[in-house]
Copies of this chain bind each other. A is one copy, B any other.
Amino acid sequence: RPAVGSAATLEPMPAQVSIIMGSDSDWRVMEAARAVLDELGVSSEVDVVSAHRTPQKMVDFARGAADRGVRVIIAGAGGAAHLPGMVASMTRLPVIGVPVPLEKLDGLDSLLSIVQMPAGIPVATVSIGGARNAGILAARMLGAFDAELGARLDAFAAELERQVGDKAQALRDRVEAGA
């Protein structure tokens, strides 16, 4: 499994994907990104970087990411979620934004705060709470330049299809038997 390191220390790292979030309470959502990257054999690092509470750390992180060898950044945040967009404004790397739903508004505020970026600074936004998809999206970006990873992604999709097939059969059996 890939090593875990602190983005904040700014040391060069082997991680290809950097997963950051605005608060450690976002980990309950964001851990799915790391989990799927592990499944797909993609190295990642994890850190808490708050746009509002640690602005300097955010600036340092964003400016240094490309030079440290990171290729994709995944950033999760909730409410007035500024982290993904602010990081995107200070790096040339692709930034994937995960709208973390808070207690109220079902994540609609998080979604709009992340996706509605002005021309010039894009954020690749995934679904509300969609950290697992953020990880897969990062892998797809890398897989476009990595034949082995591409093959793993194809196998991943085939496995998804197989699982749905099994579940479909199980449901049909259940309906046949009991309904």
Q: State which size class the interface on A falls in.
A: 35 or more
How many monomers of this chain does the complex have? 8
- A167-B124 in contact (CB<8A): no
- A109-B107 in contact (CB<8A): no
Task: Select which of B49, B54, B72, B118 is within 8 A of A22 by beta carbon.
Answer: B118
- B48-A55 in contact (CB<8A): no
Q: Which residue on chain B has the smallest CB distance to residue A89?
A: B52
Q: In the complex where A113-B109, A124-B126 touch, is A144 in contact with B71 (Cβ < 8 A)?
A: yes
Report the bound CA distance from A112 to B126 in whole Å. Answer: 10
Q: What residues make up the interface of A, taking CB atoms closer than 8 Å to B?
A: 1, 4-6, 8, 22-24, 27, 31, 34-35, 38, 46-57, 59, 66, 71-72, 78-80, 82, 85-86, 88-90, 92-96, 101-109, 111-130, 132-134, 136-137, 140-141, 143-145, 150, 153-154, 157, 160-161, 163-165, 167-172, 175-176, 179
